[in-house]
Amino acid sequence: MRHAIRTGGLTILVAAAIQAATPQGAAAFEPKMESDLLNPTLWTQSSVEFKANSLAMYKLAGIMLDEAVADTSWTAAPAEQASGFEGKPPAIILDVDETVLDNSAYEAWLVRAGESYSSKTWVPFVRSETSLPVPGSLEFIKLAVDKGVKVFYVTNRKAPQEQATRNNLKALGYPIDESEDTVLMRGESEAWASSKKGTRRAHIAETYRIAMIVGDNFGDFVDGYKGSLAERQALMTKHLDMWGSRWIVIANPMYGSWESAPFDHDWKLPSEQRRQLKYDAMAVWAGP
Ligand SMILES: [Mg+2]
Ligand 1: centre distance to CA 22 (Å): 29
Ligand 1: centre distance to CA 19 (Å): 33
Residues 161 and 264 occupy one common structural domain: no
Ligand 1: centre distance to CA 133 (Å): 13
Query: Are 96 and 217 spatial neighbours (Cβ–Cβ below 8 Å)?
Result: no
**The pLDDT of residue 151 is above 80:** yes
pLDDT (average), residues 25-43: 76
Which of 107, 119, 116 lies closest to 39 in space, CA to CA?
A: 107
| Residue 9: domain span | 1-31
CA distance 204 to 68: 16
Q: What is the pLDDT of residue 2?
A: 37
Averaged pLDDT of the chain: 91
Q: What is the pLDDT of residue 33?
A: 60
**The pLDDT of residue 178 is above 80:** yes
Residues 172 and 113 occupy one common structural domain: yes
> Furthest-apart CA pair in the chain: how many Å?
72
Higher local confidence (pLDDT), 282 or 34? 282
Residues 107 and 138 occupy one common structural domain: yes
Residues 249 and 157 occupy one common structural domain: yes
Q: What is the pLDDT of residue 11?
A: 39
Residues 114 and 249 occupy one common structural domain: yes
Percent of the chain whose predicted confidence (pLDDT) is above 90: 87
Ligand 1: centre distance to CA 74 (Å): 24
**The pLDDT of residue 219 is above 50:** yes
Q: What is the pLDDT of residue 230?
A: 96
pLDDT (average), residues 6-18: 40
Residues 126 and 226 occupy one common structural domain: yes
Ligand 1: centre distance to CA 2 (Å): 34
CA distance 57 to 39: 22
Residues 61 and 161 occupy one common structural domain: yes
Side chain identity, residue 207: T
Q: What is the pLDDT of residue 30?
A: 62
Ligand 1: centre distance to CA 17 (Å): 34
DSSP letters for 91-119: EEEE--BTTTEE-HHHHHHHHHHT----H
pLDDT level of residue 35 (50, 70, 90 thresholds): confident
The domain spanning residue 235 has which CATH number?
3.40.50.1000
**The pLDDT of residue 101 is above 60:** yes
CA distance 103 to 105: 5
**The pLDDT of residue 131 is above 70:** yes
Percent of the chain whose predicted confidence (pLDDT) is above 70: 89
Helix-helix angle 48-70:137-146, to 10 degrees = 20
CA distance 205 to 198: 10
pLDDT level of residue 8 (50, 70, 90 thresholds): very low
Q: Out of 4-8, 9-13, 27-31, 92-96, give the one with best mean pLDDT.
A: 92-96
Ligand 1: centre distance to CA 282 (Å): 24
pLDDT (average), residues 271-282: 95
Structural domain total, the chain? 3
Ligand 1: centre distance to CA 218 (Å): 9
Ligand 1: centre distance to CA 98 (Å): 5
pLDDT (average), residues 109-116: 93
CA distance 164 to 171: 10
Ligand 1: centre distance to CA 90 (Å): 22
Q: How far is CA 57 from the centre of its chain?
A: 14
Residues 215 and 116 occupy one common structural domain: yes
Residues 245 and 271 occupy one common structural domain: no
Q: CA dist 157 to 25, 32, 95, 111, 145, Å?
A: 29, 28, 10, 21, 23
Which of 17-21, 122-126, 171-175, 266-270 is the least confident region?
17-21
Residues 196 and 147 occupy one common structural domain: yes
Ligand 1: centre distance to CA 99 (Å): 5
Q: CA dist 101 to 22, 65, 74, 106, 117, Å?
A: 24, 21, 27, 12, 17
Which of 25-39, 109-123, 211-225 is the least confident region?
25-39
Which of 32, 50, 52 lies closest to 41 in space, CA to CA?
A: 50
**The pLDDT of residue 29 is above 70:** no
Q: What is the pLDDT of residue 251?
A: 98
Ligand 1: centre distance to CA 216 (Å): 5
Ligand 1: centre distance to CA 18 (Å): 31
**The pLDDT of residue 7 is above 60:** no
Residues 228 and 277 occupy one common structural domain: no
Q: How many CB atoms lie within 10 A of CB 18?
A: 13
Ligand 1: centre distance to CA 217 (Å): 6
Q: What is the pLDDT of residue 179?
A: 96
Q: Is the pTM value of this prediction over 0.95?
A: no
Ligand 1: centre distance to CA 255 (Å): 9
pLDDT (average), residues 172-201: 97
Residues 244 and 123 occupy one common structural domain: yes
Ligand 1: centre distance to CA 169 (Å): 14
Ligand 1: centre distance to CA 232 (Å): 17
